[in-house]
Chain A
């Protein structure tokens, strides 16, 4: 079965840039979405189709996808961005989530 691997944790200082990677076989051939989940809340879409931002998502969130790796970048990270982040892709009609990354804003 298809797998997506993320680093368990990323630490970043306020105002700095956080990069969260998501690795999978030929992931660049698929569309990747990213979801933010704050403690006790439901996930929220922050990036879809590799790099598109839904309305209401701040411009500091951006995405890229090439080769075997997709990346979510948070520029000028704020305390409110502290959360778990999951990448997600489709293998045929079967959904796959990444292992998840906890972003800590120190």
Chain B
């Protein structure tokens, strides 16, 4: 069974940092592009970042460029999102998702972890 389990969310003050992780199992993690997608409370989905299988390519939505960094450890089957200089508007549920690079669609999703940025 495919599983993606996010962790690391919580309450953090504006300007601070947080690192999210996503533990993958039930599929060959190393052959998948991986993504982070977020959803602010009561709002729609927003793509945040992609990372290629070997980590050599990374892409970000403009609003997080220079503040967020996506990375992965294929030996540990784990995806990460380092979030620095957090803003109130970064408050959201953060989902990790497996990206089918053949057809470019999200094959599976985690259950999400809530990040709340507030003073």
Contact flag A99-B44 (CB < 8 Å), given A1-B62, A93-B50: yes
Count contacts between A and B, CB distance < 8 Å: 59
Smallest Cβ distance from B66 to chain A, in angstroms? 16
Q: Which of A61-83 contact B (CB under 8 A)?
A: none
Q: Which of A9-17, A20-28, A41-49 contacts B (4 or more CB under 8 A)?
A: A41-49
Contact flag A90-B95 (CB < 8 Å), given A42-B111, A43-B109, A95-B47: no
State the CA gap A48–B46 with chains docked (Å): 18
The total of chain B residues at the interface (CB under 8 A) is 22
State the CA gap A1–B104 with chains docked (Å): 19
Indicate if B55 sits at the interface (CB-CB under 8 A): no
Contact flag A45-B107 (CB < 8 Å), given A93-B59, A94-B59: yes
State the CA gap A100–B42 with chains docked (Å): 11
Partner of A45, one of B37, B45, B106: B106
State the CA gap A100–B45 with chains docked (Å): 8
Contact flag A97-B105 (CB < 8 Å), given A1-B62, A42-B111, A42-B112: no
Q: What are the residues of chain A within 8 A of B100 when measuring CB–CB?
A: 48
Are A97's CB and B95's CB within 8 A?
no
Are A42's CB and B95's CB within 8 A?
yes
Q: What are the residues of chain B within 8 A of A98 when measuring CB–CB?
A: 44
Smallest Cβ distance from B53 to chain A, in angstroms? 13
13 residue pairs of the A-B complex, CB under 8 angstroms, read: A1-B62, A31-B103, A33-B104, A35-B45, A35-B106, A42-B111, A43-B45, A48-B100, A88-B106, A93-B57, A94-B59, A96-B47, A100-B44
- The list of the 5 closest CB pairs from A to B, nearest first, reads A95-B47, A48-B105, A100-B44, A33-B105, A42-B109
